Amino acid sequence: MLRFPVALCLFLRPRSVSADPQTQQSILPVPPARPISGAASEIGSDWTAKPGSGGTANLIFSSVSGLLKHWPSTVFQNGHTIVPGTVAPGALLYHGSIRNLTGSLPTEPSWVSFDPEHSYLFSSRVYTLQVMRPIKVLYFDGSSASNMPIGTIDTQEILLHGELRRGDWVRESIRIRELCEWGKEFGLEGYLRMEYDFEIMLCDPSAGTEVVSTLDLMPAYRVEPRPPRRSPPSGKKQSDPFRQATSHDASNIPQNASAEVDQASASQPNPSLMPPKRWPRTRLPSPIPPKAWVGSLRPSTMVAFDVIQAGNWHDLPGLTTVVNLDYTRLITFFDPKYTSLVKARRTQTRSSFRAGNITMQEAEVARAEIKGVLETWDGSNERTQYRVSWPGIIQTIKERYTGRLDYLSVLLGDVIEGSSGESHANVTAGIQWARWHVLTMLTPYLPAAATPPVRHQSQPIDAEWLAPTMGYCSTVFTARINLSNASASERLLKNAVEGVTREICRTLGVIWLDAFDVETRSQPEQKLLLDEWLGDVGALKEWLGWIEWSDAAKCNPVCGPHEICTLPQWPFDMDWFGKGEGIGIPYCLSRWWGIE
């Protein structure tokens, strides 16, 4: 016997015990319409207006959505957001150093990682540290530890110097010392960044940590890798990560290589925009196995695979479980007040946006703003523990609309192309399905009494009757958030959230104005509306720019059991960057890379 949930049974029960249709009444009577209070009631008939060209709500929304997450930070590698935060006590950090032979943890500025595979890539001598108290760090989003001149280091250069300095993108050892010196007055202890995996530039690795172990781990033997089993999208062979520089510091570039870089820079209008060269190769001898060792060592390409895989572990939920960001002090170069960047982005694609296009005057404004939020920050969570979970709100919005909007576009396209299957093969049935799907997304904000006034059939439907629903839909996540004591960062985030929800709701509302009585229209009219709706949904998805809808979302076709899906990343795919081929396009990397 089939059993239904109680809630479902409410809809399956007879409406009335009376057989007379005229005397039948609904079990759930329609309540009288009540005005929606607050900001929602303030939206008038102008709710149909599209967002202005200078708005950045979609960019701020996506940037915050991708913070501390590996995959979005790899797709949009030129970071624009800077946020202070703390590394939580109990977190394990790792440091690989071939230079320190004393066995003691270095106290000078050094790099640490969140995964042993990452540190092992640099040296088989690995220190394991445990965080004993909150460690204050400043987070640069994007692939901010990828040393390329295409914009990945821009926010660090602006913070330090107010401009992009020629060749500074390669000077890691200088950068870590400059950042640590700059952050002393604010009590900053490190800088959180990402390359193929997340790392921290710790100014003193011994501060706030205790050594769990110091081990000389089993080394790997060096091999010349062959191309991966499935070729990258560009059809080019994969470069050898173990013939790249084996240190974070690029100061070991051969003199002739530096000269080549300088000459290439001089021929470019903007030196920081020059295409990157292949990273200088340094050959290291293969290690000798221990005397009592029996059998083979792991190949170096497997070590490279392991660190790429470790980075992918932080796609979702990212580092949010071990790093606490203070969103009340978030600074982003997507802030619309930086008008020079708004202007520069008008002629660029999303993946090529860079903070380095800012004017020197506005760069000084940004530097002052960053200093201002750090001057009053002590690293505690007293201010943030009762504050709004902006990442939670943003994630909820994406969960509600990512799949539904994508399906709506697929459904409309299938109906238009006539390839939708038996359930909605014809236009009339298909448009009914589309209408229901839009209604599904609007139902939480659509009172039963929300219907247009009585009109002649030839008259267009007035948009004002839907304004209360649009107001509630646009502000439901923020309407009761009290910003009386909020920071400028929180106001910016609230505007970004409302800007995104407003455009989502506006698009659905515009479609609903037509869909309300679409089932009574002729089939030619329905066909025209299908095309309009598909264009509206496509424009919304393009404006939002969520990577879940892009070619960068997943590997297609799906990878096999002996492969992982990954993105082109510095420094493993240096041949791809700067040439517009394969950037942000995932590919399948064989687990047997180099030894097949």
Structure tokens at 487: 């920071």
Strand boundaries in 269-330, DSSP class E:
323-325
Spatial separation of the C-alpha atoms in residues 230 and 227, rounded to whole Å: 8
- The verdict on pTM exceeding 0.75 is yes
> Please, what is the average pLDDT of the chain?
81
Provide Rg for the chain, Cα atoms: 28
Instruction: Evaluate whether 192 touches 198 at the Cβ level (below 8 Å).
Output: yes
43-57, 252-266, 292-306, 408-422: which has the minimum mean pLDDT? 252-266
pLDDT digit string, tens, across residues 233-258? 444 444 433 333 333 443 332 222 23
pLDDT category at 140 given cuts 50, 70, 90 is very high
Residue % of the chain over a pLDDT of 90: 55
Q: What is the mean pLDDT of residues 559-568?
A: 94
Q: Which helix (H) or strand (E) covers residue 475, if one does?
A: helix 467-475
pLDDT digit string, tens, across residues 198-208? 999 999 999 99
Instruction: Evaluate whether 217 touches 126 at the Cβ level (below 8 Å).
Output: yes
**What local confidence, expressed as pLDDT, does residue 547 receive?**
92
pLDDT digit string, tens, across residues 75-127? 999 999 999 999 999 999 999 986 655 667 888 999 999 999 999 998 889 99
- The top-scoring range by mean pLDDT among 292-306, 447-461, 567-581 is 292-306
Q: How far is CA 99 from CA 26, 105, 247, in A?
A: 79, 11, 10
**What local confidence, expressed as pLDDT, does residue 43 receive?**
59
For the cut 70, the answer to whether the pLDDT of residue 475 exceeds it is yes
Strand boundaries in 29-124, DSSP class E:
81-87, 92-96, 110-113
Q: Which amino acid is at 284?
A: L
For the cut 50, the answer to whether the pLDDT of residue 59 exceeds it is yes
